[in-house]
């Protein structure tokens, strides 16, 4: 499970590089942020409103994958 506190720390210290997007598995968005430097930091402001949702979505995907694997193993 991904932790919101970890995502926030990644955003705070490495947000301009899209670090928290890599952490939550949003690789295309992360690579875009990495190469555009967050469009002159506008993306950092937008991220403030999306970090919690991104972590929740990553956790939901992990739970779904675990359920699928459990079904395969049974």
CA distance 45 to 35: 17
Residue 3 has φ and ψ, to the nearest 5°, of -105, 135
Residue 35 pLDDT greater than 70, yes or no = yes
Of 20 and 40, the structure prediction assigns the larger pLDDT to: 20
Pair 38, 16: CB distance under 8 Å: yes
Q: Considering only CA atoms, give the Rg of the chain.
A: 14
Residue 39 pLDDT greater than 90, yes or no = no
CA distance 47 to 29: 11
pLDDT at 74: 61
């Amino acid at each position: 499970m991904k932790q919101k506190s970890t995502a926030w720390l990644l955003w705070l210290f490495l947000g301009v590089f899209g670090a928290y997007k890599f952490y939550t598995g949003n690789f295309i968005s992360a690579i875009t942020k990495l190469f555009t430097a967050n469009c002159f930091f506008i993306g950092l402001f937008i991220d403030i409103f999306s970090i919690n949702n991104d972590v929740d979505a990553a956790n939901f995907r992990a739970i779904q994958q675990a359920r699928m694997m459990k079904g395969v193993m049974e």
